[in-house]
Structure 1
C-alpha cells in the first residue's frame, strides 16, 4: 500500500468508518491493553510460567539431541542416564542440557544467514501490500517478494553446495556440529529477543506496543505488535524469511547427510520433498 493509501486508511479510521473501535483508539499515545491479573494467579501466569518456558524449551531441544546421539533414540535410556547414571556429574548435566555454548563457526553461519535474509528482502522487488489495520490505526506495509526470495535462495544454495564440494567442503558441516549449532542459535535467539524488548520499551516503532514492570512477562509475551528496525519488519525476517527458509535448507542438508552415511534411502528423500512442498506452498500463498 502506498503512503497515500495508508493515509486514507488512517483518515477512515479517525472518522470512525472502520469497525467498532474503543474510545482510546484515537489517542496517539494509546497502547495495547494488558490483561491485569491479581494475587497468586498473576504471579504464576506472569512470572513462573514465562520463566518455566524460557528454561524448559532450550532444555527440551538439547534433550532431543541427547536422546538421538547418546541414548540410541530411547527415551527410557535417556531418563536412565539422567536419574541413575552415577558417572554423570553435575557439570556434564549442565553442559549437555543447560549450558549455552557459543560456537563461533555456527555463530558466523547464523549471523551471515540473517544478514542474507535482511539484504535479499530489501533488494528483491515486489508489489506493496498492506496487513490488517490495528486498533491504533496503523497499517503495516510489506513487499510481495516472498516466493521469489525462496526460489532464488534454493538456487543459490545449490550453487554454493557445488562450489563447496569442489573445495572438499560440505553444507553438512551443520549436521556434524549440530549440538554446537543448536546451542549457539538458542543463545543468539535469547540475545535477539532481549534487544527487541529494549527497543520496544524505549524506542517503539508504532503505538501498538505494551509494556509492564515485569521483564519476564515482556520477554515471554513481547512488547511490540510490529517491531521494526531501520524500517525492517523483525517478525517478517525472523519468522518468514529466516525461519521458514532455514527449515527448507536444513531438510536438504539432513537428507544429504543421510545419503552420505547410509546411501540412498527413500524415507530421507520423501521426508525432504514433503517438507519442501509444504514450504513452497507457504511462500506461494504469501504472494
Structure 2
C-alpha cells in the first residue's frame, strides 16, 4: 500500500528529519510515550489518560459484577461432583435451559447452591500459596537484562528484569520434578483436582488484594501515576495506581504474568494427565492438542513479555479489580474452561480432526507473533527496515505532551505503521489471536459437548473488539488529524472487509 504523496505526514524510511529521542512508534495498544492529556483535572479525577473505565461499557460492567460468582459456578460445572450427577455432557440449550424456564425459582436456587458449594480447602490454599511462592522466588532470583516500559505523564519510567523465558521453563521443570514424575510431592493432575477450592480462595484473595490496591494508590502510591475518582466503587473496579510496587516487586507483572499466565500454561497439561488417568489411560486428542497448543502460545507470550509490558493492559489500565482480579481469577476460570471441561467429558475427536485444528491454532499463534515482531523491528530500526520486501509506509504523526511537573509542553512525533500486517488492518494480530482461541475451543467438540466450552472464545472476541475500539478512541484523542489519515490508509480495525 503506497502512502499518498500529497500528504505531508505520510512518509517512508527515507524521511528521518526528527531525532529518535522524540519519536515513538504507535499502531495499536502499545503506546511508547506520554499520552496527550493536557487536562490535569481529568487525570486527577482518575480518567487515567483515556476517558472512562470498563464501566463505560454496560455489558462488560454487568459481566464484571457477576464474574466472582460466575467463576465459582464454572468451577462447579467442570468438577467431578457435577459430572457425578450428569455423566453425559449437559447440553445447556437443549436440556438445562428448558428445565430452568419450566421452573425459574428452582433453577435460581440450584444455580446459587451450585456456586456457593465451591469453597476453599486447606489443600487448595496450600497449593495456591506455594504456587505464588515459587513464582516469587523465581522473580527475585532469575537474572535478566534490565528493560524499561514507556515513560508516563509524570515522568516515571518503569523498569523490569527481563527473565520471562527463564521463568517459563524453570517453573515448568520444577512443576514436573515436584510431581509424581519426580519427587512425588503431589500428583501431576493437582491443578484439576484442587481447581474448585483454588478458585474459591483466589476469589477471596483477589477481592482483598484489590481493596489493598485501592487504598495503596490513594494513600501511599509508588509513583505519581495515581489518583482517585472520588467514588470508592469506581476506584476499586478500575484502580487508583498505574504501577504499584511493594518491596521493589512490580505487582502488575507478578500477578498478570508470573501467576496468571503460568497457571494457564500448566493447567492444560495437568488436565490432560488427569483425563488420561480417569479414562483408562486413553489419550483425548482434543484435550492433548489444546493443551499443547496453549502451552506453546504461552511460551510465545513469555518470549514477548516486554511487549506486553508496553501494551494497553499495562500502560493505560490501572491496577484495580478489572485487571488484577481478572488475571487472578477470571483467567484460570475462563481461559482454561474449554480444556478443563474435557476432563470429565472427552472430545471424542479423531486424531486427524484434532491435528488439523491444532495446526490451525499454531498458525494463529505464529502469525500473531510475526505481526508483533514486524512492529517491533519497525520500531527498533526507526522505520529503516523492509516490510514484506518493501520500504514501509507510515504516517508521521505529531502530538503534544504536557509535563505536569514543569507545565512545559513538548512536541513529539509517532510513526504509525501502515505496511505488512499493519497495513491489512489496524489490529490484524487480534484476528490471529482469535483464530487460535476458536481452534482451542473447537477442540472441545461443541457438537458433542454443547456451547459451554465456547465461552472463552466468545468472551475473547467481545473483549478484543472492545479493546480495538478503546485503542482507536485513545489514538484519535492523541493524534487527531494524523490518525484520521492513518485510518484512510488502513480503514479496517481487525478483519478486512468485515470490521
TM-score category of the 2 structures, normalised to the smaller one: 0.7 to 0.9
What SS does structure 2 have at the residue aligned with 1:149?
helix
**Compared CA separation, residues 45 and 61, structure 1 to 2 (3 A):** closer
Kept after mapping to 2: 8 A contact 1:120/1:149: yes
**Compared CA separation, residues 49 and 99, structure 1 to 2 (3 A):** farther
Structure 1 residue 278 corresponds to structure 2 residue 297: yes
Within the candidate set 106, 109, 116, 2:127 is matched to: 109
Within the candidate set 145, 162, 169, 1:127 is matched to: 145
Within the candidate set 155, 161, 164, 1:137 is matched to: 155
CA displacement 1:136-186 (0-9 Å, x = unmatched) = 00000000101001111111111011367746x413233234322222222
CA displacement 1:117-141 (0-9 Å, x = unmatched) = 1221111111111110000000000
Q: Extract unaligned runs of 5+ from structure 1.
A: 1-8, 10-17, 37-41
> How do residues 80-91 of structure 1 correspond to structure 2 at under 5 angstroms?
80=98, 82-84=100-102, 88=106
Structure 1 CA distance for aligned equivalents of residues 34 and 118 of structure 2: 47
TM-score between both structures, scaled by the size of structure 2: 0.46
What SS does structure 2 have at the residue aligned with 1:162?
coil
**Compared CA separation, residues 281 and 24, structure 1 to 2 (3 A):** same
Aligned to 1:39: none
CA shift for structure 1 position 21: 6.1
Kept after mapping to 2: 8 A contact 1:100/1:187: no
Which 10-residue stretch deviates more, 51-60 or 115-124? 51-60
Structure 1 residue 56 corresponds to structure 2 residue 59: no
**Compared CA separation, residues 202 and 53, structure 1 to 2 (3 A):** farther
Number of residue-to-residue matches in the alignment: 261
CA shift for structure 1 position 103: 2.2
Aligned to 2:472: none
> How do residues 236-247 of structure 1 correspond to structure 2 at under 5 angstroms?
236-247=253-264
Structure 1 CA distance for aligned equivalents of residues 189 and 276 of structure 2: 11
Structure 1 CA distance for aligned equivalents of residues 176 and 34 of structure 2: 48
**Compared CA separation, residues 164 and 206, structure 1 to 2 (3 A):** same
Kept after mapping to 1: 8 A contact 2:148/2:160: yes
Kept after mapping to 1: 8 A contact 2:34/2:152: no
Aligned to 1:257: 274
TM-score between both structures, scaled by the size of structure 1: 0.77
Kept after mapping to 2: 8 A contact 1:81/1:88: no
Kept after mapping to 2: 8 A contact 1:106/1:180: yes
CA displacement 1:38-78 (0-9 Å, x = unmatched) = xxxx9x948x8887444311233233344443553322344
Structure 2 CA distance for aligned equivalents of residues 62 and 207 of structure 1: 36
Aligned to 1:34: 46
Structure 2 CA distance for aligned equivalents of residues 20 and 266 of structure 1: 47
What SS does structure 1 have at the residue aligned with 2:225?
coil
Q: Extract unaligned runs of 5+ from structure 2.
A: 1-20, 22-32, 307-499
